[in-house]
């Protein structure tokens, strides 16, 4: 069984915040793979499904971000999961907008959701780091992550969460490099069209 945790803050007022991209990805996974309706479990919304023959639980904690570990720890204990069975999708300031990386373990880099999860279960779970860029000033970070994405950001958000949902089977198989490659291919900008007969030498 794989536990996929999307991080965010609950409630409509936070729905389009940069901090909530983990929720956005979780919602698309649930929609794409036709998971169950949500159930209130583990201090969160839990959705059940099967991908490539593997049972998956998608969990969106309904605590605030800095208490996300309560939900993750409860689900982990209930299902007797190993840390390798847990994938957390979260916003990442240290990656440019639309970029994505997967890593196992490490610090929280000031992310309160990761800090809470690590306090409850330890650091060696998998993280899908979704880049939202950095405001350029550490004093502006809180306001930045708790503000909404701009409308123009949908141009990269929608294809990216679609790609995360599409590539989920690679995470199920434990193939993190394959997952990143698939997402990169699906979100790669289209090749510019060249006119027929163009030589490409500028002449």
Residue 51 CB contacts under 8 Å (≥ 6 apart), including other chains:
33, 168, 169, 172
Residue 203 CB contacts under 8 Å (≥ 6 apart), including other chains:
none
Are 27 and 110 in contact by the 8 Å Cβ rule? The answer is no
Q: Which two tokens stand for residue 33?
A: 């793979």
- Give the Å distances, CA to CA, from 6 to 156, 157, 185, 193: 18, 15, 22, 37
19 is catalytic: yes
Q: Which residue matches tokens 């969160």?
A: 44
Of 19, 33, 90, 111, the active-site residue reads 19
Which positions are catalytic? 19
């Amino acid at each position: 069984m794989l536990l996929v945790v999307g991080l965010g803050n609950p409630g409509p007022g936070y729905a389009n915040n940069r901090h909530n991209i983990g929720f956005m990805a979780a919602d698309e996974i649930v929609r794409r793979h036709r998971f169950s309706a949500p159930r209130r479990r583990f201090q969160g919304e839990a959705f059940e499904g099967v991908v490539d023959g593997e049972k998956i639980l998608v969990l969106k904690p309904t605590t605030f971000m800095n208490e996300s570990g309560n939900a993750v720890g409860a689900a982990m204990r209930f299902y007797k999961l190993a840390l390798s069975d847990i994938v957390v999708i979260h916003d990442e300031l240290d990656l440019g907008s639309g970029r994505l990386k997967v890593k196992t373990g490490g610090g929280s880099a000031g992310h309160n959701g990761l800090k809470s999860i690590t306090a409850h279960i330890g650091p060696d779970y998998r993280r899908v780091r979704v880049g939202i860029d950095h405001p350029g000033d550490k004093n502006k970070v809180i306001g930045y992550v708790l503000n909404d994405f701009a409308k123009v950001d949908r141009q990269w958000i929608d294809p990216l969460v679609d790609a995360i949902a599409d590539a989920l089977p690679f995470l199920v198989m434990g193939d993190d490099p394959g997952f990143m490659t698939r997402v990169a291919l699906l979100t790669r900008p289209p090749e510019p069209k060249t006119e027929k007969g163009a030589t490409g030498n500028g002449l």
